[in-house]
Amino acid sequence: MGVSGSGKSTVALMLAHRLNWIFEEGDWFHPPSNIEKMHNGVPLTDEDRWPWLHGIAAWIDATRRAGNHGIIACSALKRVYRDILVGDRPNVRLVYLKGDRDLIARRLAARDAHFMPPSLLDSQFASLEEPQPDEHAIVVSIVPHPREIVEEIVKRLGKAAAASAPQIAATARRSFPEESGNVP
């Protein structure tokens, strides 16, 4: 989880590869009307986000039902959004990619061909509700190289993550290791 430009897709894809888990891009769950609004610099409302969030939650449930592990890159800026995504799923973990506005603004300015314009960054930070202790989020700085961020997430996920990817030594942003003592 994190604001646009925090590296959610990059880190989630690398983490999925590292753990041999399924990766899904949360942006793909947006209906065309949401993409058009963002492309035009119009911030999404909660009403715009509900179907998107429920679609992501359905993907999480389907992935878990199939006995798989998955990671989804998703902003999940507000607690109410995270409540839909995590719900009563005790083996779903949040990874919060935390960074300051200036660093993220520089990254957005350098990004090419993305539907989310840099002009919406302030609305993202205005909506952001950082995870609270009872959410048991893994909070990582976005300052290090993405490889270092991935290794920190793997370390903080612990044995459940390593056990699911035996041929290799989770953010999200979304990971759901097997039910174990390492998850809330």
Range ranked top by mean pLDDT from 35-39, 97-101, 119-123, 171-175: 97-101
pLDDT given for residue 108 in this prediction: 83
| Structure confidence by residue, pLDDT tens digits, 160-178 | 565 554 333 334 433 344 3
Helix or strand run (H / E) with residue 129? none
Work out the average pLDDT over 42-63: 94
pLDDT given for residue 166 in this prediction: 37
Which residue is listed with tokens 């998703």? Answer: 74
Per-residue pLDDT band at 43 (split at 50, 70, 90): confident
Work out the average pLDDT over 42-62: 94
Enumerate residues 6+ apart whose C-beta is below 8 A from 126.
Answer: none
| Structure confidence by residue, pLDDT tens digits, 78-108 | 999 999 999 999 899 999 999 999 999 888 8
Enumerate residues 6+ apart whose C-beta is below 8 A from 95.
Answer: 1, 11, 15, 137, 138, 140, 153, 170, 171, 172, 173, 174, 175
Taking each helix axis as running N to C, give the angle between helix 146-157 and helix 8-19, from 0 to 180 degrees, rounded to the nearest 10.
Answer: 60
Domains of the chain: 8-175 (3.40.50.300)
